[in-house]
Homo-oligomer: A and B are copies of this chain.
């Protein structure tokens, strides 16, 4: 067993902050990711909070500010469970870094994505208890972790629009896959915002604040933003670029692994595809000739409206090198761009290019 009770074969990008993604084959064909396999993306030291003394503050533009214990959350609000995929906005950044370096950012491969059953209270029920004002257009979250990359260190935080915060699928969760939420995944309580980038599912939740504007926290105002390729992140004012929220259409090959030696003949390709809020994955294509011809993958029915679509396809590999390519389509018939080159951005987010894996048969 590795650090934080994770599998030994996690790819650990850094120990503290703990940043690790599973081996892609550990995700393949598994609708629910075991806790010991679930990716972990952190900006600071993992806080260890005592569930007995933990308190949540609900404040800002509300009629009745609240101070809630975990027992309050359990007893005063109806419990709900949502199966949701979380995906890091930096997933697949390594392919962008192969185009041009992105200093100081984690080179995530394709497995900074996982799916769990999350249980807790609906955020909207908690907000309703506090009585949000009419002009509270955003709901901000603050965690107990401090981002060590900032000087001075600041708590991690972010916000979502009130329309999303009051949707049925957004939870304040204290259980993950039917077990207490472990510290490394934000326990005692974290936010779960299905259909959004993982960063908005704030861990070690301390505070929920109803606001007129989006959060002014560094990770909402300055980070997790899509900047144009020629922007200098160090010289970018707060609010520049596009604040990431709803997750974009994406897909990746999980197996075979890049560079895998394979026998010529028939192989099964496994992967996942994701569409953000209000979109569904409708088709996944797989090519072994760089995208000139495609065959459709078989899509597994998702575990729910907020879960990834796992897929597999049979391919035939003649002797020699081959490039396996995958792309997804959503229900608007939109599909992914071909190359990461034209998607490169200074913070390395949202690589939604076709997934490409080079293998050799023979």
Contact = CB atoms under 8 A, between A and B. Distances in A.
Interface of A: 226, 228-230, 242, 244-249, 276-279, 282-283, 285, 291, 293-294, 296, 329, 331-339, 342-343, 349-350, 352
Contact of A246 (B246, B332, B349, B352): B332
Given A226-B333, A277-B332, A334-B350, 10 more contacts: A226-B329, A246-B279, A277-B278, A278-B278, A278-B279, A333-B349, A334-B352, A336-B337, A337-B338, A338-B342
Contact of A242 (B279, B329, B349): B329
Contacts of A335: 337, 343, 352
Nearest to A89: B333
Given A228-B296, A277-B278, A278-B278, A242 B338 contact: no
Contacts of A279: 246, 278, 332
Given A245-B331, A338-B337, A230 B283 contact: no
B242 A282 contact: yes
Number of copies of chain A assembled together: 2
A293 B230 contact: yes
Contact of A247 (B332, B342, B343): B332
Contacts of A277: 278, 332
A248 B278 CA distance: 13
Given A249-B334, A296-B228, A342 B291 contact: yes
Nearest to A275: B332
A294 B228 contact: yes
A294 B229 contact: yes
Contacts of A291: 342
A161 to B, nearest CB: 10
Contacts of A294: 228-229
A212 to B, nearest CB: 20
Contact of A244 (B248, B333, B339, B342): B333
A340 to B, nearest CB: 11
A60 B335 CA distance: 35
A102 to B, nearest CB: 16
Contacts of A336: 337
A74 B334 CA distance: 38
Contacts of A246: 279, 331-332
A352 to B, nearest CB: 6
Given A242-B282, A293-B230, A248 B334 contact: yes
26 contacts: A228-B285, A228-B296, A229-B294, A242-B329, A245-B331, A245-B332, A246-B331, A248-B332, A248-B333, A249-B332, A276-B332, A277-B278, A277-B332, A279-B332, A291-B342, A333-B349, A333-B350, A333-B352, A334-B334, A335-B337, A335-B343, A335-B352, A336-B337, A337-B337, A338-B338, A338-B339
Nearest to A331: B246
Contacts of A242: 282-283, 329, 331, 333
A334 B228 CA distance: 14
A244 B352 CA distance: 22
A169 to B, nearest CB: 15
**4 closest A-B pairs by CB:** A278-B278, A248-B334, A248-B332, A246-B332
